[in-house]
Structure 1
Amino acid sequence: MKPFIPDIILPTTVVGSYPAKPRRTLKSLFDPLHFAVEEAVSLQKKAGITIISDGQVRGDMIGVFASKLPGIRGSDVIGRVMPPDQAITIKDTAYAARQHPYVKAIVTGPSTIAYGLRLQTRLYRNKDELVPDIASALAVEAQGLSKTGAVMLQIDEPILSTGATDIDVAKKAVATIAESVSIPVCLHACGNIAHIIDDLLAMPIDILDFEGCVNPENLASFSGKELKDRYIGYGIVDSSSPVLEPADVVRQRLWKGIDILGPERILPDPDCGLRMHTPESAYAKLARLCGVVEEVRQELGGAVKNL
């Protein structure tokens, strides 16, 4: 199996979000959050992240997409959900791709969006009936994102581990988006995924990203599984706490992952997004992640040549 990015073992990445820090400038009169996008991109690069995001600074993960979909007003579904009239996050992703060779584009998953909304129309009897239309709408955005130069598309589905949504409906929705693009597709699932690991691995995705810090049992659930050529995004830095973990703790997590998954398929990252951190805490977390990974790369030097 080849590394995800040629000649780079253990390419680091982020789950997506970064603290938004608006600044008052002349440019901010037209786009109050453009500086926040610029800063998020710059600081991810400075920290040493291999595959960055645009920072996802423009709002909460549900609202930023739902607010642009016809058929949704606020948090209410008032009619048939349709594709967006205009691009939602494509501009920010394209900006990031102009600044850095490796960028992940991100959409919030259809099931997570559906279960964050209220049904105020009889067109949908329940939220699972809403999911396919949201998936079709997001597929249009995904197609645009895939043309920005991004090296992967990530679908965020934190709700899957809760059991609130129908996993078969979620599978079909993920497939709708994944099959609409030609770039590798990543699924990020929060929480304890051990009980749904087989369902997640059955989805048409190239990368499965999970939390490895607050839910360490997730890593063990991969033992003995047939992963084929699938890559694994493995959270080795705790995004739920502002505390900066010692390098030895992060290193131990990474080596455990290497023992189970092998170094060639791991994309080390934080457990989840860093939006709720201060900019200083978020940067420190990413710098710690990259520092540890670089040390492990050096330790793997002899083995990497044989991959």
Structure 2
Amino acid sequence: MREKLFELGLDVPILPTTAVGSYPKPEKLERARLRFLKGEIEEEDLRPLEEKATREWIEIQEEVGLDIFVDGEMYRGDMTAYFARKLEGFEMSGLVRSYGNRYYRKPIIKGDIDWAASATVDYWSFAQDLTDKPVKGVVTGPYTMMDWSFNEYYADRKEACLALAKNLRKEVEALVEAGAKIIQIDEPALSARPEELSEFARDAMRIMTKNLDAYFITHICYGAFEFIYPQMLELPVDNFDLEMSNSDLNLTKLFEKEPFTKDISFGVIDVHNHVVEDEKTTEARLERALQVLPPEKIWVDPDCGLKTRKKKEAIEKLKRLVSAARDTRNKLE
């Protein structure tokens, strides 16, 4: 798929490095966000803090040496609730336990879903103006939005998912129009019900990506991939961003049986613990990727977003993956 990147005017190296989406938020911003949710301040009061944090993470990505940036999602809380608040037809529930001791307000579909205005373009443009490196646009996908919401309006899961796809497509169109050339559609829930992949999840992704001039990534994590591979390769995207290290690279065994035919953002950093991997570990993970995949198809990144890590940990983990990619790239030359 490197040809598509070149057609879009993007000159990326072999084994390009990137991040999945989120970074840790400063404590001051976290406190302000809690005040906003309690109704004590207005949304516009958050903007200066969000911009400051976004600028800082762009600078960190420059210093670390990533090839493809993200805006860091300083303006988002939960990945589903954020978009639900921006779409018509949703209400918010009380707190629902997600995993561990993490909770979020689960969206409820109460009426016709309708996209009124972009939820990401303003922040993506702000971040892109701060760097010459490409910044990914990141949108939560329709299947995950459907699966992680209560549906009290549409006839079934399929109808809700396709309604979300038709409206979230408008978000993707807005990003493309603004100049985003790499767009990531987050679908962590994709393996929740494997039979729905062919029933309608694939159709929903087609709605999201068809006839748009961009390089598309879908991020899937927490996945029981063995139940959807290789069928998931039918999704109309260019790149799969997959959680690899947290599962001890077990997915590579599937690649040996059924070749992986798309580009892959290969997670060489486990984001679920506080341990910063040493260089030997990250390079070994990347070497394993190269045993089953050609180097021109591999991107290098963490397993998932880094927002649950401390800032110093996140930075050190980014440094490790950049170092592993650089050293491996040098060996290939």
Output the TM-score relative to the length of structure 2: 0.83
Runs of 5+ consecutive residues of structure 1 not aligned to the other structure: 302-307
> Which has the larger displacement, 96-105 or 10-19?
96-105
Structure 2 residues not aligned, in runs of 5+:
33-43, 93-106
Correspondence 1:162-201 to 2 at 5 A: 162-163=192-193, 166-168=196-198, 169-179=200-210, 181-190=212-221, 191-201=223-233
**Deviation of the 1:148 alpha carbon:** 3.1
- Are 1:10 and 2:15 counterparts? yes
Is structure 2 residue 133 aligned with structure 1 residue 86?
Answer: no
Which amino acid in 2 is paired with 1:59?
G
Task: Spell out, residue by residue over 1:92-146, the C-alpha distance to the aligned partner (whole angstroms, 9 max, x if none).
Answer: 111222223211111111111112211233xx12333200011111100001112
Which among 40, 48, 73 is matched to residue 56 of structure 1? 73
**Distance in 2, Cα, partners of 1:181 & 1:13:** 22
Report the equivalent of 1:304. none
| Structure with more of its chain in strand, by fraction | 2
User: How does 1:1-307 map onto structure 2 within 5 Å?
Assistant: 2=2, 6=11, 8-21=13-26, 23=28, 29=45, 31=47, 32-57=49-74, 58-74=76-92, 75-83=107-115, 85-100=116-131, 101-121=133-153, 124-163=154-193, 166-168=196-198, 169-179=200-210, 181-190=212-221, 191-215=223-247, 216-225=249-258, 227-228=260-261, 230-301=262-333
Change in CA separation of 1:117 and 1:36 when aligned onto 2, cut-off 3 Å: same
Cα displacement (A) at 1:176: 0.6
For 1:225 and 1:71, how far apart are their aligned partners in 2?
41
TM-score by length of 1: 0.90
Report the count of equivalent residues.
Answer: 295
Paired residue type of 2:67 = T
For 1:138 and 1:246, locate their aligned partners in 2 and report how far apart those are by CA, in whole Å. 39
Q: Tell me, yes or no, if the aligned pair for 2:194 and 2:228 is still in contact at 8 Å.
A: no
What is the CA RMSD across the aligned residues, in angstroms? Answer: 2.1
Q: Secondary structure at the match of 1:221?
A: helix
Identical-residue share of aligned pairs (%):
30
What per-residue deviation string (whole Å, max 9, x for no partner) do you get for residues 70-112 of structure 1?
11122221101112x2110111111222223211111111111
Instruction: Give the Å deviation of 1:195.
Output: 2.4
Question: For each residue in 1:227-283, what CA deviation from the matched residue of structure 2 results, as whole angstroms up to 9, or x when unmatched?
Answer: 55x311100110111110111011001011012111111001000111111111111
SS in 2 for 1:140: helix
SS at match of 2:77: coil
Q: Which moves more between the two structures, 142-151 or 3-12?
A: 3-12
CA gap 1:226/1:288 in 2 versus in 1, 3 angstroms: closer
Relative to structure 1, the CA distance from residue 275 to residue 255 in structure 2 (aligned partners, 3 Å threshold; closer, same or farther) is same
Structure number with higher helix proportion: 2
Q: Distance in 1 between matches of 2:295 and 2:176?
A: 27
The equivalent residue for 2:35 is none
**Cα distance, 1:224 vs structure 2:** 5.0
